[in-house]
Structure 1
Amino acid sequence: MAGYGKSTLLAAAARRQQDRGAALWLTLDESDREPVRLVSDLLTAAGLSGLDELSAGLEPLRASALRAEPLTMVDSLLEELYDTAVPLTLVLDDLQHLSDSKASARVIDHVLRWAPANMRIAIAARVVPPLRLQRLRLEDRLAYIAHDELAFSREETAEAVRVAGLDLEPENVGTIHRVTDGWPAGVRMAILAARQSGRPHQVPMELRRDQALADYLATEVLDSLHDELRDFVLDSCLDEQVCPSLIDTIRGTLDAEVHLEQCLADGLFLTRGDVSAEEAWYNWHPLFAAHIRRRLASDLPERALALHRAAAEWWRPIDPPTAIRHAMAAGDGEAASRIFADRWLELFLEGRVDAVLEAVDQLPETSARSIDAHLAKALIYGQRGRLDAARSALEAAHGTAKGLPASARSTYEDRMAIVELFRTGYDLGLVQAVESGTALLGRMDQSQHVPDPAIRAAVQVFVGMGEARAQSHHKLSLEMLRSSAATAADNGLVALELTALAESCIPAIAEGHLSEVRDLAAGVLARADQRGWVGLATLAPAVAYLGWLDYWRGNLHEARAQLERSLSMVLPFDWELRGLVLNFLTKTCLALGDLRSARRNAGEITTMIESGRTAPWWPSMLAGLEGLILLAEGGIQEAAALAKVPASDPEYSLAPAHRAKVLVQAGLPGEAHAELDRVLTPEAFVHIECLSRCIEAEAHAALGDLHAAHASLELALAAAEPDGLYGPFLGAGEAMTELLKAHLRHGTAHPTAVTHVLGRIAEGQHHNVTGWGERLTERERVILQYLATNLTNAEIAEAEFISLHTAKTHIAHIYQKLGVSSRRAAIRRAAELELY
């Protein structure tokens, strides 16, 4: 395409050729579509080559060029060239002018076919001309250079900046390279913009408004296209990412795919995008698309408005924020408000809170549905812990609702009720919100008004979450969450369905089918990943479950990665889940020998308990952790003293097992048995059974009762083998290793499990890369570089020609993949991983 330096490259090659032989240069134009004129120009180019031995033979040819048959004249020219002994280069520049001239193309084909062996031919064109190149390819006599090879590399962009005399910071050079994608003409324009403005960090914005660049694109690109393709390009650049159905819908045509492929073939600023989707997607170069939109708006304003209106309707079911942007560009604030009212709650549940706020900012000031904007802000502010702002927004919503007709008020009352419910959760915690949510569901059941399915399913999720966190009514929470998932699935509310399924992973532990739940959690995350919802906060329970199960399976490195990732996702008000994750992260760090991190995580739990917002059984959970930490630090007597403190009520389910472990290690196996009697009940969960039986076997062995130790080991293996819960065996130390070897000799119904555990112990803690190992994508690596600067998120978005929402989404993904929650922490973690 224009501006990639084709002519510059060939001119340099021709100058080099002059030192060894001669160069024939012909720049073609539309007149060369006539083969007679083309041959005449070829003769003129040969005459200007500087070869004296050609001069005499070319004179009679030029005299008869306009009368003779073109191919005959080409043969005569080639005969003259055969007599030259020096290396020759024939340059044919701008050959795209012959694209629709078969007769002139035959002349060039003839030259290619019969050119002398000492001649090299170089062709430059914006469009691959209709030449017969197959034979040359088969004979390996053809080299093809595309725009991606002519584009500047990052180093070449830096060199161009240096040669221009600009002293720019590396990040500014990187910005220029990224926004231009190495397009040489764009790099040149960026250099000029940086030089003139004196503000290199604003180059991306300058380029979008640069009139010289706009004029260049108009004269060198648009004006070179035939009318039909030019109209297509003007219509199809409303979005940087496009697909045929989008363009056909807004234009009322059926040939978009043909035109898009033509644009690709013609070397326009278009690349092929996602090919895995049902429909092909294409990406316009952002600079090109921005200027084409400006051209359309200025030259055809009515056409632009009509296209934006149609685009808003097409995007509405696919991406509401994009639909709202188009509606506002079309000047239809009412349509934008309707789209927002219909879809904001769904966007919120998808975790796209920045997109909701971005949409609110785009809405007209005087919107008939401004109550939705108030409710959305109340929900988001509450989620972010800005409770005063949330209350103000909710009060504004109540005030606006008073003016609504009775027929419309019930819908908004449902929405306000769920916002109130979420606010209760933010203020008091999820467990305290259960009562309010249950009452709300009761009112919905008794009301003659049919509630929005999204509202009902969301309330069910909230109540199910609260019940799951309370850990008292597992069946009730599972019923509620599964009902919510079914309602959401029936109504196409995918984010809500995945949220309910993710939440169900925690209470489903009570059913004992741990591998099945693992498949459920992995499936939820895979479906979310396919939709780009890697960082959806409400999926944290699924990630936490995978980390929890890896801990019990003894996959400690994987467990730590998953648990740290889930911590970065947990909603601010979800203290219960945060505490449970910190609990298992502490034990994972202990098992890995990282006492410092274990202490830090336990300290966070202490701080949360001191705030007074935690469940009554948390102190017993913390006491168990403290005992294990003291034991790991060598404070056996202190740990034993703590283990002998009378148990509180209610108590964390694993607390007796933790105390028993400490007491065994402290040489008090009899007292350990007393603690285990409190936990080994018929209702004990399978992982608790496994851990407790392992400790029980150690206690029996310490008392010299090997028969009882074998019996306990057999029960522990029976509990562990179905789901691979080998963590309690792997972390029990050398005494357990000897017990297992003796148990294998003694005889067991689980020899494979014993052999597996002993193999794991022998080879050391193995470390598999987690399935969610979270390598950063190329785009995320680019955004990661910005995080080390002082640019704001808005400036990063501007520099990368992406929306603020997209930039924040990338940053959120980076945080989650690195297991951090702030920019500073991300920079530190990235440095540790050598990502900078």
Structure 2
Amino acid sequence: MTVLVVSVMPPADAFGTSTDRGGPPRSGPPTAGESPPADAPAPPVAYAGEPLLTAKFVPPERPHAYVHRQRLTDRLATAATGPLTLITGPAGAGKTTLAASWARTGPLPGPLVWLTLDSCESAHADFWAYVLEGFRRTLRTTPRETAGHRGPGGLPVTGRVEHSRLIHLAALLERLPRPPVLVLDGFDRVRAREVAADLEFLLAHAGPGLRLVLTSRVDPLLPLHRYRAEDRLAEIRAADLAFTPYETAALLDRHRLSPTPATVGLLTRRTEGWAAGLRLCALAMRQSGDPDAVARTFAASPHAVADYLLTEVLDAQPAALRDLLLHLSILDHVHPDLARALTGRPDTAELLDRLVRRNVFVTRLPGTVWCRLHPLFAQVLQAQLHHRRPGLAPRLHHRAARWFAAAGDADRAVSHAAAAGDWRYAADEAVRTLLLGRLLTAPGSEGLHRLLSRMPADVPGAGPALVAGACALYRHDAAGCRERLTAAARQLGEGGSGRTPETALVHALLSLVCAPLAPGQDDRGLRQRADQAARRIGALMERVPRPLVERHPELAALRCAGLAHVLLRTGELDAARRYFTRATGPDDGPHDDRATGRLRHAALGLLAVTESLRGELTAATDHATAALALADRTGLTPHRRSGAGHLALAIVAHGRGAHQDAQRHLTRAEQCPDTRHDPTLHVECALLRARLHLARGRWEAARSTLDDCGPAPSAWSAERLAVARSAAALARGDTVAALAAAPAAPAAPAAPAGTNDTAPAALARARAHLAAGHPDRALRHLAPLDGAALSRPDLIGSLLVRAHAAVLTGVPATARELLARALDAARPEQLRAPFTEAGPWLRVLLDGTGDRTGPATGHIWFGVRWGDGRSAAGTPYLVEPLSRRERQVLAGAARLLSADEIAEELCLSPNTVKTHLKTIYRKLGVSRRREAVDRGRELHLL
């Protein structure tokens, strides 16, 4: 059986007519304003002697701009086929509207008895007088036993319905052909406990002859748990009554409003689908010339619904509950112990239970003792708190901050301390709980930054200085961070005030992370200070309580990422790669992206940049792609994303000869804030853009890009800029300028590679000498590289310089051998850039003899060779060209045709097409159709 609670009743003539004591058939009570016939009997009276009001037996009219919600009326119709239906929700949730709509549109299982209740029917006898009269009006017949014995003047002789009357009513209901639907609207207004007991008896003994629907703000005093277990209860709760975004849009449309989807979503989220709030907002929007602005204001301020909530909700509560609600208004989530700490009342748990049961816009979080207030109601309560109890709010926030701090909830402790204006405590608590690490690593740290950045600049102490420094670093303001770190160090040094392991740890972490962002530091000194800071951080983490460290996995990640960033800046790519890998965590292990997602995103991108500079293009692509995917997965906003991943993909695309892809990724990288504020990334973006200009023959643009780059942040970056300037001079044929721009040779010519005389610098000098016609000098500059462990690009560059020297000295066999070795080294990563940038001499070496057994043999990955030894892009390629038929098959694949469709179009067999596709894959050095199409477009074959 099912119990339904709703307040709706169709007109009386919707139900069948019957005679009342032999009288003529009637279709229902007189309508409003209609005079009763002269011979009509006197209107019935309640037990208190007052006439029964006809309006209470009629469902209310639909409100203006009513939105029919079929999902709810269907659910109510299904529920009403059972014995009991309960519709509960807070004021304005749409309980009565739903019941009335269903009563008017049906379908109904039987005749409707509608009764709108108010406080007048709180007495037991009055309630049953109205219920029995409702049955009489609908059924047109009642057993004499249910009418009660009346004394003089028609008044009953007793003050309550005797039990025998309920027995006779239950017997009558059992005999009816169709079960009537009794809708009691506003059942929470009935205070008499006997009424619930009588309804329970009636439900138990009427059998299938009654369908009871109750609308109420609170659960009735019925054994609902037993009804649920027996499947006799259907419930429609506040969450079910909430408007969906689609329904919100329909409601606004009924008010002749056309808001944007964003406005609809904002209103739905802010009101949580509360019907009355949405209607009040719609009315306010109609009266304004800018409905969207009103919606945004409503979403930020509850003024449009304040009067409703105050009158219908707050003022309707007893004094104890009103006082508790005002105290709780400062909270987003409420625990009974927290409520006790704010109010000093020992009975707060019981009062909270009453608020939840009464649907006073307080709901319990599932499976916990925690509760939450509706956000609009909380804002109204906050305004009333300031109005009725001025000066209390700061004291409440102060108590809440201490309670949350003791409970280990640092976020809320800091938030309430800030709301209380106690910034010194808020900052010290953020440092003590190591909250600042998450500010720099978590994807959703914008709210924490907004909170902490409100702190006044003149708050004394080391904690506030560290908080200000972390906020500056969050904004990529490295100079501001260093200034605040200096102030914090001064505070910690003056008598050791505030010096704790946590404070020292935060100071060391911020110093390490900030170090590689400072301009113009000595590489050796920077590396030494970074090593010292990393060791100090490790020692301090041992002194901090282990549970606290375990709750903050971002600390170890920050340490590794900071040291890796320093190593990247100083050009120690092998070591930088190791530490960036540690910062990203294990590839197959769990990651807490809520705590470290933003840091892992940046570290993966920087790891990819490090690998791309070493020529490890496959690994760089994988890590850069993972960095971008992580940013999407964690919802990082554009101004919080790192450009390192896009920069790495741009370097990879340039290295493989895909200049358009390189340009696209580089543009996206330069739009990210860190590539503008990080000196190392800024230089790498400028270097790549200059190389792209050179690839298109734009020498002046390349030189201008390098000149506009600004001062180099480190000796390693300065050397890379010098190498690029030398390459730009060589591209325009100015060997003198190329020699002048190349990094100078070290004083000791035998210095080992990788210390003073790095491989890129030696190669730049060697290329300049070769261009000037001095191969012997070029080879002398390469001598220190013999036997050195070189990166892939440097190894290929060294082999190509030696091959060029062999060409100039007339040893073509040696040149071809060296070229073949260079191609073998480039093949695993398909690294084309060193060859395409080598100059016209390489084309002569490749195509001078036309020998198919030369150095190009076996290097299909490199590209397509045309008759003039050039690709359509103007660069030499080294593999067999596609036949005319193969190009036709490739064109069909580009149009997404299947093998059978290509075969039919070209009059070939499907097997022949498949054979052509395999040959195309081999010649283009790919393994899939999509890659073949992309490669064909890159080579202008399509």
TM-score class normalised by the smaller sequence: 0.5 to 0.7
Q: Quick check: 1:28–1:94 contact (8 Å CA) kept in 2?
A: yes
Instruction: Specify every segment of 5 or more residues in structure 2 that has no aligned partner in the other structure, as ranges.
Output: 1-89, 150-155, 668-684, 691-704, 745-755, 768-774, 804-811, 836-853, 862-921, 932-942
2:17 is aligned to none
Pick one of 194, 203, 206 that aligns with 2:285: 194
Task: Find the residue that maps to 1:596 and give its secondary structure.
Answer: helix
Task: Find the residue that maps to 1:188 and give its secondary structure.
Answer: helix
Deviation, structure 1 residue 204: 4.8
**Is 1:84 aligned to residue 176 of structure 2?**
yes
Q: Quick check: 1:547–1:559 contact (8 Å CA) kept in 2?
A: no
Deviation, structure 1 residue 187: 0.6
2:564 is aligned to 505
2:808 is aligned to none
Cα distance in structure 2, aligned partners of 1:146 and 1:448: 56
Matched AA of 2:383? R
Cα distance in structure 2, aligned partners of 1:766 and 1:481: 49
| Largest Rg, 1 or 2 | 2
Matched AA of 1:14? A
2:377 is aligned to 288
Task: Find the residue that maps to 2:140 and give its secondary structure.
Answer: helix
2:607 is aligned to 545
Task: Note the alpha carbon deviations across 1:658-685, whole angstroms, 9 max, x for none.
Answer: 9999xxxxxxx99999998755756x4x
Pick one of 485, 488, 496 that aligns with 2:537: 485
Q: How do 1:435-584 residues align onto structure 2 when only pairs under 5 Å count?
A: 453=504, 454-456=506-508, 458-459=510-511, 462-463=514-515, 476=528, 479-486=531-538, 489=541, 490-491=543-544, 498-506=557-565, 517=579, 520-523=582-585, 534-535=597-598, 540-541=602-603, 543-545=605-607, 548=610, 552=616, 554-555=618-619, 558-561=622-625, 582=647
Matched AA of 2:616? W
Pick one of 78, 93, 101 that aligns with 1:4: 93
Task: Find the residue that maps to 1:501 and give its secondary structure.
Answer: helix
Cα distance in structure 1, aligned partners of 2:495 and 2:930: 56
Q: Quick check: 1:468–1:477 contact (8 Å CA) kept in 2?
A: no
Q: How do 1:362-381 residues align onto structure 2 when only pairs under 5 Å count?
A: 369=460
Q: Quick check: 1:670–1:699 contact (8 Å CA) kept in 2?
A: no
Q: Quick check: 1:627–1:643 contact (8 Å CA) kept in 2?
A: yes
Cα distance in structure 1, aligned partners of 2:162 and 2:608: 76
Pick one of 615, 625, 632 that aligns with 2:714: 615
Q: Quick check: 1:315–1:323 contact (8 Å CA) kept in 2?
A: yes
Change (3 A) 1:599 1:304: closer
Deviation, structure 1 residue 355: 5.7
Deviation, structure 1 residue 599: 6.8
Pick one of 185, 206, 211 that aligns with 2:276: 185
Q: How do 1:755-834 residues align onto structure 2 when only pairs under 5 Å count?
A: 763=927
Deviation, structure 1 residue 222: 3.0
Q: How do 1:21-60 residues align onto structure 2 when only pairs under 5 Å count?
A: 21-28=110-117, 38-48=127-137, 50=138, 54-60=139-145
Task: Note the alpha carbon deviations across 1:6-60, whole angstroms, 9 max, x for none.
Answer: 0111011122349885211234456777666554443222123x3xxx3332443
**Is 1:63 aligned to residue 130 of structure 2?**
no
Matched AA of 2:743? S
Pick one of 652, 655, 673 that aligns with 1:587: 652
Cα distance in structure 2, aligned partners of 1:113 and 1:629: 95
2:43 is aligned to none
Q: How do 1:287-366 residues align onto structure 2 when only pairs under 5 Å count?
A: 287-301=376-390, 303-314=392-403, 326=416, 335-337=422-424, 339-340=426-427, 350-351=439-440, 361=454
Task: Find the residue that maps to 1:127 and give its secondary structure.
Answer: coil
Deviation, structure 1 residue 126: 2.4
Matched AA of 1:185? A
Cα distance in structure 2, aligned partners of 1:265 and 1:673: 89
Pick one of 730, 738, 743 that aligns with 1:648: 743
2:222 is aligned to 131
Matched AA of 2:381? I
2:241 is aligned to 150
Task: Note the alpha carbon deviations across 1:269-305, whole angstroms, 9 max, x for none.
Answer: 3456698xxx876543221110112223333346545
1:438 is aligned to none
Instruction: Specify every segment of 5 or more residues in structure 1 that has no aligned partner in the other structure, as ranges.
Output: 398-410, 419-443, 662-668, 718-724, 742-757, 768-836
Cα distance in structure 2, aligned partners of 1:520 and 1:387: 24
Q: Quick check: 1:32–1:98 contact (8 Å CA) kept in 2?
A: yes
Cα distance in structure 2, aligned partners of 1:736 and 1:241: 71
Question: Could you state the TM-score of these two structures normalised by the residue count of structure 2?
Answer: 0.55
Matched AA of 1:192? L
Change (3 A) 1:286 1:673: farther
Change (3 A) 1:155 1:641: farther
Change (3 A) 1:300 1:193: same
**Is 1:269 aligned to residue 328 of structure 2?**
no
Task: Note the alpha carbon deviations across 1:719-747, whole angstroms, 9 max, x for none.
Answer: xxxxxx97579999999995899xxxxxx
Please report the RMSD computed on the Cα atoms of aligned residues, expressed in angstroms: 6.4
Deviation, structure 1 residue 153: 1.8
Q: Quick check: 2:452–2:467 contact (8 Å CA) kept in 1?
A: no
Identity rate, percent: 21
**Is 1:214 aligned to residue 306 of structure 2?**
yes
Cα distance in structure 1, aligned partners of 2:338 and 2:247: 37
Change (3 A) 1:248 1:555: farther
Q: Quick check: 1:522–1:542 contact (8 Å CA) kept in 2?
A: yes
Task: Find the residue that maps to 2:141 and give its secondary structure.
Answer: helix
Change (3 A) 1:141 1:305: same
Equivalent residue pairs, number: 671
Change (3 A) 1:619 1:140: same
Task: Find the residue that maps to 2:112 and give its secondary structure.
Answer: strand
Q: Quick check: 1:624–1:655 contact (8 Å CA) kept in 2?
A: yes
Q: Quick check: 2:604–2:626 contact (8 Å CA) kept in 1?
A: no
Matched AA of 1:486? G
Cα distance in structure 2, aligned partners of 1:256 and 1:639: 85
The structure whose residues are more often helix, as a share, is 1
1:94 is aligned to 186
Matched AA of 1:57? T
1:751 is aligned to none
1:822 is aligned to none
Cα distance in structure 2, aligned partners of 1:43 and 1:133: 24
1:235 is aligned to 327
Q: Quick check: 1:2–1:220 contact (8 Å CA) kept in 2?
A: yes
Question: Could you state the TM-score of these two structures normalised by the residue count of structure 1?
Answer: 0.60
Task: Note the alpha carbon deviations across 1:757-791, whole angstroms, 9 max, x for none.
Answer: x9xx8656999xxxxxxxxxxxxxxxxxxxxxxxx
Q: Quick check: 2:335–2:371 contact (8 Å CA) kept in 1?
A: yes
**Is 1:105 aligned to residue 196 of structure 2?**
yes
Cα distance in structure 1, aligned partners of 2:630 and 2:257: 46
Change (3 A) 1:555 1:375: closer
